[in-house]
Amino acid sequence: MKNRIKRWFMPQVFVGDEEKTRRANLLNSITLIFLFCLCALIPIVLLDGGMTAGVIVIVIDLIGIAIVLLLRHLLRRGQVVFVGQAVIILMFMWISWIGIDQGVIRTPMAAAYLFVVLLTGLLFGWMSIVVSAAASSLAVLGLIRGEETEWLSKPDHMFALIHWLAYTGLFGIAGGLSFQAKQIMHKALVRAKEEIAERKRVEMELRKLSQAVEQSPVSIVITKLNGDIEYVNPRFTQVTGYSLAEAVGQNPRILKTEITPPETYRQLWCALTDGREWHGEFVNRKKDGSIYYESASILPVIGLDGEMTHYLAVKEDISERKRAEKLLRDSEERFRRMFEEHHAVMLVVEQDTGRILDANRSAQEFYGYSRSVMQTMCITDINTLTREQIWQERQRAAQNKLNYFIFPHRLANGDIRIVEVHASPLMLDGKAALFSIIHDITERKRTEESLRIHMEEVERLQAELRELSLHDPLTDLYNRRYLDEALGREVARANREHKPLSIIIADIDRFKIVNDTYGHQLGDRFLMEMAKLMRMNSRGSDIVCRYGGEEFLLVIPGASTTDAFNRADEIRKRCAEFFIRHDGEILAITISLGVATYPCHGQDIEEVIAKADKALYRSKAAGRNRVTAWREADQESGPDQPVKNTSAAVCQDEPCECGDC
pLDDT of residue 145: 62
Q: Which residues pair with 297 in a beta bridge?
A: 279, 314
pLDDT of residue 657: 52
Instruction: Using DSSP, state whether 421 is helix, strand or coil.
Output: strand
Question: Is the per-residue pLDDT at 577 higher than 80?
Answer: yes
Could you report the per-residue pLDDT of 185-210, keeping only the tens digit for each? Answer: 677 778 888 888 888 888 888 888 88
Share of the chain above pLDDT 70, in %: 79
Rounded Cα distance, 556 and 503, in Å: 6
Question: Is the per-residue pLDDT at 143 higher than 70?
Answer: no
Could you give the angle at which helices 80-102 and 126-148 cross, rounded to 10 degrees? Answer: 10
Pairing of strands 627-629, 591-598: parallel
Rounded Cα distance, 186 and 19, in Å: 15
pLDDT of residue 466: 78
pLDDT band at 650 (very low <50, low <70, confident <90, very high): very low
List the single range of 287-291, 331-335, 413-417 with lowest mean pLDDT: 331-335
pLDDT of residue 645: 40
pLDDT of residue 403: 83
Could you report the per-residue pLDDT of 434-493, keeping only the tens digit for each? Answer: 889 999 999 988 888 888 898 888 888 888 887 778 888 899 899 998 999 899 999 999
Mean pLDDT across 271-294:
91
pLDDT of residue 649: 32
pLDDT of residue 195: 86
Could you report the per-residue pLDDT of 394-404, keeping only the tens digit for each? Answer: 888 888 888 88
Question: Is the per-residue pLDDT at 655 higher than 60?
Answer: no
Mean pLDDT across 218-237:
90
Question: Is the per-residue pLDDT at 30 higher than 70?
Answer: yes
Rounded Cα distance, 411 and 378, in Å: 13
Could you report the per-residue pLDDT of 298-323, keeping only the tens digit for each? Answer: 999 888 788 889 999 999 999 888 88
DSSP per residue, 456-493 = HHHHHHHHHHHHHHHB-TTT--B-HHHHHHHHHHHHHH
Could you report the per-residue pLDDT of 70-116, keeping only the tens digit for each? Answer: 888 888 888 888 888 887 787 777 666 665 655 555 555 555 665 66
pLDDT of residue 322: 87
Beta carbons within 8 Å of 567's beta carbon, 6+ residues apart? 504, 537, 554, 556, 559
Report the candidate in 279, 251, 255 with the shortest Cα–Cα distance to residue 267.
279
Domains of the chain and any CATH numbers: 2-188 (no CATH), 216-317 (3.30.450.20), 325-446 (3.30.450.20), 471-653 (3.30.70.270)
CB 271 within 8 A of CB 255: no
Question: Is the per-residue pLDDT at 661 higher than 60?
Answer: no
Q: Give pTM, 2 decimals.
A: 0.37
Rounded Cα distance, 478 and 466, in Å: 11
pLDDT band at 575 (very low <50, low <70, confident <90, very high): very high
pLDDT of residue 639: 44
Share of the chain above pLDDT 90, in %: 33
Strands (E), 324-468: 345-350, 356-359, 405-410, 416-428, 431-440
Question: Is the per-residue pLDDT at 416 higher than 90?
Answer: yes
φ, ψ dihedrals at 505, nearest 5°: -115, 125
